[in-house]
């Protein structure tokens, strides 16, 4: 079950592509974009990562940090980030604890076969640590721009 807007975002600490730990609690005072994706070096995940990377400076200008999260190990993230020249961090959740806490883990179907896996989804967390918006089933193309637009819209109302 996907997390819902208004809820307190579950805290976590996960290693990035270089092995450095990042904790949600350390981002208090900033907007946080968590985009959950199935697998490094796949076409859809590469498209999504490239688009978030292209808009990285605009997210930073809106006082937001972007994290991509998948079950892939740190070493895989390092290769993927280097290959795409990413300027944001990819976090490794090999045990899927954070994926489950945010509702980004569940039943999927491929070629008629049902299995458990990462549900491509995104959560926007406000500077106080509450879930501000959720995208439960994402198509990679154009998604980063939609998140940025929502962030700008919420950021303006948040400042009032």
Q: Pairing between strand 105-110 and 89-92?
A: unpaired
Residue 26 and residue 139: Cα distance in Å, rounded? 29
Residue 107 and residue 118: Cα distance in Å, rounded? 9
Structure token pair of residue 80: 């993927």
Which residue shows structure tokens 């450095």?
A: 20
Residue 115 and residue 109: Cα distance in Å, rounded? 6
Catalytic residue among 45, 49, 90, 124: 45
13 noted as active-site residue:
no
Residue 97 and residue 144: Cα distance in Å, rounded? 24
Q: Among all residues, which ones are annotated catalytic? A: 45
């Amino acid at each position: 079950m996907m997390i819902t807007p208004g809820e307190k975002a579950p805290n976590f600490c996960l290693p990035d592509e270089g092995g450095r730990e990042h904790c949600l609690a350390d981002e208090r005072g900033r907007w946080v974009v968590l985009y959950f994706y199935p697998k490094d070096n796949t076409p859809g995940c590469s498209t999504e990562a490239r688009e978030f990377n292209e808009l990285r400076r605009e997210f930073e200008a809106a006082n937001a940090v972007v994290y991509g999260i998948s079950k892939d190990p740190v070493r895989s993230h390092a290769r993927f980030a280097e290959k795409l020249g990413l300027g944001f961090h990819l976090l490794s959740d090999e045990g899927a604890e954070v994926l489950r806490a945010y509702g980004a883990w569940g039943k999927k179907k491929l070629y008629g076969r049902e299995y458990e896996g990462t549900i491509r989804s995104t959560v926007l967390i406000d500077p106080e640590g509450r879930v501000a918006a959720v995208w439960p089933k994402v198509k990679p193309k154009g998604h980063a721009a939609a998140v940025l637009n929502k962030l700008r819209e919420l950021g303006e109302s948040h400042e009032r």
